[in-house]
Chain A
Amino acid sequence: QVQMVESGGGVVQPGRSLRLSCAASGFTFSKYALHWVRQAPGKGLEWVAVMSYDGNSKNYADSVKGRFTISRDNSKNTLYLQMNSLRAEDTAVYYCARDGSRVVPAAIGCDYWGQGTLVTVSS
Protein backbone atom coordinates (compact mmCIF):
# COMPACT_ATOMS: atom_id res chain seq x y z
CA GLN A 1 0.00 0.00 0.00
CA VAL A 2 1.01 3.61 -0.48
CA GLN A 3 3.07 5.00 2.38
CA MET A 4 4.69 8.39 2.84
CA VAL A 5 6.87 8.93 5.88
CA GLU A 6 8.24 12.33 6.78
CA SER A 7 11.32 12.85 8.93
CA GLY A 8 13.77 15.57 9.87
CA GLY A 9 11.58 17.78 12.01
CA GLY A 10 12.69 19.17 15.34
CA VAL A 11 13.45 22.33 17.27
CA VAL A 12 15.62 24.90 15.52
CA GLN A 13 16.62 28.47 16.27
CA PRO A 14 15.41 31.34 14.11
CA GLY A 15 17.66 31.93 11.14
CA ARG A 16 18.93 28.37 11.06
CA SER A 17 18.27 25.62 8.52
CA LEU A 18 16.57 22.25 8.48
CA ARG A 19 16.00 19.61 5.82
CA LEU A 20 12.90 17.48 5.78
CA SER A 21 12.66 14.15 3.99
CA CYS A 22 9.69 12.15 2.83
CA ALA A 23 10.26 8.50 2.01
CA ALA A 24 7.61 7.00 -0.24
CA SER A 25 6.70 3.43 -1.06
CA GLY A 26 3.92 1.39 -2.60
CA PHE A 27 3.69 3.26 -5.88
CA THR A 28 5.83 4.32 -8.84
CA PHE A 29 7.37 7.41 -7.27
CA SER A 30 8.66 8.91 -10.51
CA LYS A 31 5.17 9.18 -12.02
CA TYR A 32 3.64 11.66 -9.59
CA ALA A 33 3.92 15.27 -8.55
CA LEU A 34 4.59 15.77 -4.86
CA HIS A 35 3.65 18.51 -2.41
CA TRP A 36 4.63 19.90 0.94
CA VAL A 37 1.74 21.25 2.99
CA ARG A 38 2.04 22.63 6.51
CA GLN A 39 -0.26 23.26 9.46
CA ALA A 40 0.65 25.62 12.24
CA PRO A 41 -0.52 24.52 15.71
CA GLY A 42 -4.29 24.84 15.93
CA LYS A 43 -4.51 26.41 12.48
CA GLY A 44 -5.60 25.43 9.00
CA LEU A 45 -3.72 23.93 6.10
CA GLU A 46 -1.21 25.97 4.10
CA TRP A 47 0.24 24.76 0.84
CA VAL A 48 4.03 25.20 0.73
CA ALA A 49 5.52 23.80 -2.46
CA VAL A 50 5.10 21.31 -5.28
CA MET A 51 7.45 19.51 -7.65
CA SER A 52 6.49 17.79 -10.88
CA TYR A 53 7.05 14.07 -11.43
CA ASP A 54 10.37 14.62 -13.21
CA GLY A 55 11.65 17.48 -11.08
CA ASN A 56 11.57 19.94 -13.94
CA SER A 57 8.86 22.14 -12.51
CA LYS A 58 8.51 23.50 -9.01
CA ASN A 59 6.37 26.15 -7.39
CA TYR A 60 6.31 27.77 -3.97
CA ALA A 61 4.05 29.73 -1.68
CA ASP A 62 5.05 33.37 -1.44
CA SER A 63 5.67 32.92 2.29
CA VAL A 64 8.58 30.53 1.66
CA LYS A 65 9.84 31.58 -1.76
CA GLY A 66 13.58 32.25 -1.68
CA ARG A 67 14.01 30.44 1.64
CA PHE A 68 12.72 26.91 0.99
CA THR A 69 13.76 24.52 -1.77
CA ILE A 70 11.84 21.45 -2.80
CA SER A 71 13.68 18.59 -4.47
CA ARG A 72 13.31 14.90 -5.14
CA ASP A 73 15.46 11.87 -5.80
CA ASN A 74 13.50 9.46 -7.94
CA SER A 75 16.17 6.81 -7.50
CA LYS A 76 15.61 6.87 -3.74
CA ASN A 77 11.84 7.47 -3.79
CA THR A 78 12.39 10.46 -1.56
CA LEU A 79 11.12 14.03 -1.50
CA TYR A 80 12.97 16.79 0.32
CA LEU A 81 12.34 20.26 1.66
CA GLN A 82 15.38 22.36 2.44
CA MET A 83 14.33 25.14 4.79
CA ASN A 84 16.70 28.06 5.30
CA SER A 85 16.41 31.31 7.26
CA LEU A 86 13.69 29.79 9.41
CA ARG A 87 11.27 32.05 11.23
CA ALA A 88 8.95 31.55 14.17
CA GLU A 89 6.00 31.63 11.76
CA ASP A 90 7.39 28.52 10.02
CA THR A 91 6.53 26.48 13.11
CA ALA A 92 4.13 23.80 11.91
CA VAL A 93 3.53 20.17 11.15
CA TYR A 94 4.86 19.57 7.65
CA TYR A 95 3.10 16.99 5.51
CA CYS A 96 4.28 15.53 2.25
CA ALA A 97 1.52 14.52 -0.10
CA ARG A 98 1.26 12.78 -3.44
CA ASP A 99 -0.72 14.45 -6.19
CA GLY A 100 -2.79 12.24 -8.44
CA SER A 101 -1.23 13.98 -11.42
CA ARG A 102 2.25 14.30 -12.88
CA VAL A 103 2.32 18.07 -13.01
CA VAL A 104 0.69 20.83 -11.01
CA PRO A 105 -1.29 23.06 -11.24
CA ALA A 106 -4.48 22.01 -12.96
CA ALA A 107 -4.14 18.71 -11.17
CA ILE A 108 -6.42 16.38 -9.32
CA GLY A 109 -5.43 16.75 -5.70
CA CYS A 110 -3.38 15.22 -2.92
CA ASP A 111 -4.55 11.64 -2.70
CA TYR A 112 -2.03 10.31 -0.18
CA TRP A 113 -0.52 12.10 2.80
CA GLY A 114 2.16 11.31 5.30
CA GLN A 115 1.65 11.57 9.06
CA GLY A 116 3.61 14.81 9.24
CA THR A 117 6.73 15.99 11.02
CA LEU A 118 6.76 18.86 13.50
CA VAL A 119 9.12 21.77 12.99
CA THR A 120 9.43 24.22 15.87
CA VAL A 121 11.36 27.42 15.33
CA SER A 122 12.24 28.93 18.66
CA SER A 123 15.18 30.46 20.46
Chain B
Amino acid sequence: DIVMTQSPLSLPVTPGEPASISCRSSQSLLHSNGYKYLDWYMQKPGQSPQLLIYLGSTRASGVPDRFSGSGSGTNFTLKISRVEVEDVGVYYCMQALQTPLTFGPGTKVDIK
Protein backbone atom coordinates (compact mmCIF):
# COMPACT_ATOMS: atom_id res chain seq x y z
CA ASP B 1 0.00 0.00 0.00
CA ILE B 2 1.11 3.58 -0.62
CA VAL B 3 1.83 5.39 2.63
CA MET B 4 1.07 9.10 2.77
CA THR B 5 2.73 11.47 5.24
CA GLN B 6 2.07 15.15 5.88
CA SER B 7 3.91 17.96 7.58
CA PRO B 8 3.35 19.82 9.69
CA LEU B 9 0.54 18.08 11.53
CA SER B 10 -0.46 21.35 13.15
CA LEU B 11 -0.20 24.75 11.50
CA PRO B 12 -1.15 27.96 13.32
CA VAL B 13 -1.67 30.69 10.76
CA THR B 14 -2.20 34.43 10.68
CA PRO B 15 -5.00 35.73 8.45
CA GLY B 16 -3.59 37.39 5.38
CA GLU B 17 -0.35 35.45 5.55
CA PRO B 18 0.60 32.52 3.29
CA ALA B 19 0.57 28.92 4.45
CA SER B 20 2.00 25.72 3.06
CA ILE B 21 1.41 22.01 3.74
CA SER B 22 3.67 19.23 2.54
CA CYS B 23 2.59 15.74 1.53
CA ARG B 24 4.84 12.83 0.66
CA SER B 25 4.02 9.45 -0.80
CA SER B 26 5.99 6.23 -0.38
CA GLN B 27 5.74 5.59 -4.13
CA SER B 28 5.55 7.85 -7.12
CA LEU B 29 2.02 9.01 -7.93
CA LEU B 30 2.98 9.74 -11.53
CA HIS B 31 0.92 7.57 -13.88
CA SER B 32 2.16 6.50 -17.30
CA ASN B 33 -0.42 8.89 -18.76
CA GLY B 34 1.50 11.81 -17.27
CA TYR B 35 -0.99 12.69 -14.56
CA LYS B 36 -0.12 12.78 -10.86
CA TYR B 37 -2.91 11.19 -8.85
CA LEU B 38 -2.83 13.29 -5.72
CA ASP B 39 -5.85 15.02 -4.22
CA TRP B 40 -6.18 17.60 -1.46
CA TYR B 41 -9.26 17.77 0.76
CA MET B 42 -10.30 20.21 3.45
CA GLN B 43 -12.60 19.31 6.31
CA LYS B 44 -14.01 22.25 8.19
CA PRO B 45 -15.10 21.66 11.80
CA GLY B 46 -18.29 19.64 11.93
CA GLN B 47 -18.52 19.30 8.15
CA SER B 48 -17.89 16.67 5.50
CA PRO B 49 -14.63 16.81 3.58
CA GLN B 50 -14.52 18.82 0.39
CA LEU B 51 -12.27 18.43 -2.61
CA LEU B 52 -9.83 21.28 -3.12
CA ILE B 53 -7.28 19.99 -5.63
CA TYR B 54 -7.12 16.93 -7.88
CA LEU B 55 -4.45 15.59 -10.23
CA GLY B 56 -1.92 17.33 -8.05
CA SER B 57 -2.61 20.87 -9.21
CA THR B 58 -6.13 21.28 -10.63
CA ARG B 59 -8.50 23.28 -8.46
CA ALA B 60 -11.92 21.73 -8.02
CA SER B 61 -14.98 23.68 -9.04
CA GLY B 62 -15.69 26.66 -6.82
CA VAL B 63 -12.37 26.53 -4.96
CA PRO B 64 -10.85 30.00 -4.48
CA ASP B 65 -7.69 30.71 -6.43
CA ARG B 66 -5.76 31.37 -3.23
CA PHE B 67 -5.44 27.57 -3.03
CA SER B 68 -2.84 25.96 -5.26
CA GLY B 69 -1.26 22.55 -5.54
CA SER B 70 2.06 21.49 -6.94
CA GLY B 71 4.51 18.66 -6.77
CA SER B 72 6.60 15.96 -8.30
CA GLY B 73 6.06 12.19 -8.20
CA THR B 74 6.40 11.81 -4.43
CA ASN B 75 6.53 15.32 -2.97
CA PHE B 76 3.52 17.58 -3.08
CA THR B 77 2.58 20.94 -1.63
CA LEU B 78 -0.68 22.73 -0.94
CA LYS B 79 -0.30 26.48 -0.69
CA ILE B 80 -2.73 29.08 0.53
CA SER B 81 -1.57 32.45 -0.75
CA ARG B 82 -3.41 34.49 1.89
CA VAL B 83 -5.13 32.59 4.65
CA GLU B 84 -8.66 33.58 5.56
CA VAL B 85 -10.46 32.75 8.80
CA GLU B 86 -12.79 30.41 6.88
CA ASP B 87 -9.79 28.25 5.91
CA VAL B 88 -9.59 26.80 9.41
CA GLY B 89 -9.90 23.03 9.39
CA VAL B 90 -8.02 19.82 8.70
CA TYR B 91 -6.35 19.30 5.35
CA TYR B 92 -5.75 15.84 3.95
CA CYS B 93 -3.83 14.63 0.95
CA MET B 94 -4.92 11.39 -0.69
CA GLN B 95 -3.33 9.27 -3.35
CA ALA B 96 -5.73 8.18 -6.07
CA LEU B 97 -3.24 6.21 -8.14
CA GLN B 98 -3.99 2.75 -6.88
CA THR B 99 -6.25 0.91 -4.49
CA PRO B 100 -6.37 0.91 -1.60
CA LEU B 101 -6.65 4.66 -1.80
CA THR B 102 -4.81 6.16 1.15
CA PHE B 103 -5.03 9.45 3.01
CA GLY B 104 -2.37 11.35 4.86
CA PRO B 105 -2.84 11.85 8.61
CA GLY B 106 -4.16 15.38 8.18
CA THR B 107 -2.83 18.84 8.97
CA LYS B 108 -4.85 20.92 11.40
CA VAL B 109 -4.87 24.58 10.43
CA ASP B 110 -6.05 27.09 12.99
CA ILE B 111 -5.70 30.77 13.67
CA LYS B 112 -2.85 31.99 15.86
B-to-A contact residues, CB < 8 Å: 1, 31, 33, 35, 37, 39, 41, 43, 48-51, 54-55, 58, 60-61, 90, 92, 94, 96-106
Whether the pair A95, B92 counts as a contact (CB closer than 8 A) is no
In the A-B complex, the 9 residue pairs with the smallest Cβ-Cβ separation, listed nearest first, are A109-B54, A59-B99, A109-B39, A113-B48, A47-B101, A44-B106, A108-B54, A45-B103, A61-B100
Whether the pair A105, B99 counts as a contact (CB closer than 8 A) is yes
Interface size on A, residues (CB 8 A): 26
Whether the pair A114, B48 counts as a contact (CB closer than 8 A) is yes
Task: Give the distance in Å from the alpha carbon of A92 to the alpha carbon of B60 in the complex.
Answer: 27
Whether the pair A106, B97 counts as a contact (CB closer than 8 A) is yes
The B-contacting residues of A in range 25-71, CB under 8 angstroms, are 35, 37, 44-47, 50, 59-62
Interface hub of B48, B60, B92, B105 (most chain A Cβ within 10 A): B48
CB neighbours of A107 from chain B (8 A): 37, 96
Extra A-B contacts (12), CB below 8 Å, given A59-B100, A95-B49: A45-B43, A45-B94, A45-B103, A47-B94, A59-B99, A97-B49, A104-B99, A106-B33, A108-B39, A109-B39, A109-B51, A113-B49
